[in-house]
Amino acid sequence: MKWLLVAVLTTFTISSAVTQSHILLGSPVNSLCADLIHPAGYSCTEHTIQTKDGYILALQRVASPAQNLTLQYGPPVLLQHGLFMAGDVWFLDSPKESLGFILADHGFDVWVGNVRGTRYSYGHVTFSETDKEFWDWSWQDLAMYDLAEMVQYMYSLANSKIFLVGHSQGTIMSFAALTQPRVAEMVEAAALLCPISYLDHVTAPLVERMVFMHLDQMVVALGLHQINFRSETLVKLVDSLCEGHVDCTDFLSSITGKNCCFNDSRIEYYLDYEPHPSSVKNLRHLFQMIRKGSFAQYDYGFLKNILTYGTSKPPEFKLSLIPASLPMWMGYGGSDLLADVTDVERTLAELPSRPELLYLENYGHIDFVLSTSAKEDVYKHMIQFFRARKKSISW
């Protein structure tokens, strides 16, 4: 069922005075620096931060060989991955094809985010990964705690605003976090790949099947709190959804839509790193977005919503609260069945600013992070967007 793992790999893809952070000494068990960055000849340091709700997250700081010699860094940029991914996704192809390496080669101070639950950020001050409480979170927590803390940490070290890059779920997190003034004021500009704030026009056949069959409720009934597609149970469960209902011969396309430029000869290599775990609650929150057509906080149901939010319905994240003065750039594709063009257009209509846009008719969801031609098709335009704003920051 290797195609399942590849498909999952591509699905979607706060400031605190008491934050504890440091550079890790030695190599942790799961070290992105040791796995992918150092072997490519780039400098990399491992950092950790602690969120307000107690999760221990890993950040990596990456520098090119040229930066290593000069000891000078350019503008800080944070790379935020998508669902079932981690920071490794930005480095899975060659240095000439991978965005993380390309940005470092262009002089950027590259930082790599890894959200809670991934193998690089597997920790909490109280809970272990076997505790159900460890998995009690959704993307709104990733936005309000994880991403916000990463931005704060980088801002404090660099003493300047940062550039933010997100893909898929990383864009959901970005949109939500940027509605908070204390986060938005630390961001110089944002570049969003496969931008998502609404999901009600998702047409990926297997995703529609998962939502219709309430896969999220199935895994809860099994007593599971994390979604780990390296487990035999989850693989068999999703496989059963295909049989007789969805043509999963091309599993990748059934999840994401057709990808024009994905190098499928590297599948075995990608599977050494992806997919990473996520929480059942996170999956349920994403399914709520699909069913309700909303961009809102987690829906606990009438009574718990009253207790949690003080209202019967969960509060919405209002895109109109993102500052109109914040420069934004977005890349999206005509073959993406997750970040559907209709939903992207709705997002654009609700934003107070007019982002710069790159539309590629033949690009699918995974192409924006693993296309063999993304350097020319996508990344050079993103870098031009960032460079156009270099006058406002020290470079």
**Which residue numbers are catalytic?**
168, 336, 365
Cβ–Cβ under 8 Å, residues 77 and 109: yes
Residue 308 structure tokens: 């949690």
**What is the dihedral sign for C-alpha 221, 227, 232, 236?**
positive
Q: Which DSSP helix (H) or strand (E) runs through 279?
A: strand 278-279
For the chain, the first-to-last Cα distance in angstroms comes to 47
**What is the dihedral sign for C-alpha 173, 174, 176, 177?**
positive
- The span from the CA of 109 to the CA of 74, in Å, is 5
- The span from the CA of 278 to the CA of 231, in Å, is 12
Beta partners for residue 320, in sequence order: none
- Closest by CA to 154, choosing from 234, 75, 264, 256, is 75
Give residue 37's Cα distance to chain centre: 19
- The span from the CA of 263 to the CA of 150, in Å, is 31
- The span from the CA of 156 to the CA of 356, in Å, is 28
> Quick check: bond before 327 cis, omega within 30?
no
